[in-house]
Structure 1
Amino acid sequence: MKNNKLLMIMLILIVAITLVGAVAAVVVLKFTGQEDKKPTIDEVLEASVDVPEITTNLAGEDFIKISFKIQTDSKKAKEELEKRDFQVKNIIIEELSEKKAEDLKGKEGKTKFEEDLKMKIDGLMQEGKIEQVYITECLLQ
């Protein structure tokens, strides 16, 4: 009987200590400013590169006119991306040449394409990373 009471008391103490630790961690993170901070629009624009309009054929008989804004995580990454503009255009053209018009129609298709480009372009980067790829103009014909 005493062993059961002792076991129950130890279990309650362990749970209480765990809860106090979790609450303490949340409080410390909250008040030390460690939470994820979103950049302001000015910071986004300072770290972004415009890719001017590209016109190319798709996998079918269709063609597309499309332009982008690519957001990086720093000014250094932006500078590197500007130097790699020819590689970025090459990736975009190669990816588009594999797509059919149906692949790029609708929100889901465009979002998937942006994610694919983000991963491919991020693979080029040495000084930072790609945060987001935005399609700024798109005309399918």
Structure 2
Amino acid sequence: MEKMKRILMILLAALGIVGAGAVAAVIFLDINLKEVIAQEEKEPTAEELAARSFSMEPLTTNLTSENYAVVQLNLLADSEKSYKELEVRTPELKAIVISTLAGLSRDDLKGSEGLTNFAKTIQAEANKILHDGQVERVLITDFKIQ
């Protein structure tokens, strides 16, 4: 009986130590997880955004209607590496913008909804050609239809 009490006491002590270790590990992981989440949610600085912001030169092309459009875009890459890829792929990006506009009419580009749809299309097509990262946002910085 005495031997059983010792075994039981040792077993309870071992379980207590393992339990305390598990609690400490959970607390430690929770603190580290909160730090990681806080770092990911931190808004980028203006300098960081500028380093990832790729401005295209103005492009002019015909629309399906009897008009033509002049557009200038700014593409925000998700990293400096993808920014550099945008620079290298400038001819492909120009082709995407021109072919997209060539398939649209003046009415397709009317209002904020039309421009938003155009920007989303450019973003999706640009992301198809990128291997290192993605375009997070497309800004239309100049737009004219004549």
Paired residues, number: 116
- 1:37 — aligned with what? 42
- 2:57 — aligned with what? 52
Give the alignment of 1:12-91 within 5 angstroms: 31-35=34-38, 36-91=41-96
TM-align CA RMSD? 1.8
* Alignment TM-score, normalising by the size of structure 2: 0.74
1:133 CA drift (Å): 0.6
Match of 1:116 among 111, 116, 121: 121
Match of 1:94 among 92, 99, 105: 99
Q: Distance in 2 between matches of 1:29 and 1:129?
A: 28
Q: Distance in 2 between matches of 1:112 and 1:54?
A: 18
Q: 1:61 to 1:79 in 2, by over 3 A?
A: same
Higher helix share: 2
Q: 1:29 to 1:61 in 2, by over 3 A?
A: farther
Unpaired segments ≥5 residues, structure 2:
1-26
1:86 CA drift (Å): 0.2
Q: Distance in 1 between matches of 2:109 and 2:36?
A: 40
Q: Distance in 2 between matches of 1:78 and 1:124?
A: 13
Query: Runs of 4 or more off by more than 2 Å in structure 1?
Result: 27-33, 35-38
Say which is worse superposed, 85-94 or 32-41, in terms of deviation.
32-41
Provide the secondary structure at the position in 1 that maps to 2:108: helix
- 2:8 — aligned with what? none
Residue identity matched to 2:88: K
Say which is worse superposed, 39-48 or 96-105, in terms of deviation.
39-48
Unpaired segments ≥5 residues, structure 1:
1-23
Larger Rg: 1 or 2? Answer: 2
Aligned sequence identity (%):
30
- 2:12 — aligned with what? none
Q: Distance in 2 between matches of 1:30 and 1:100?
A: 50
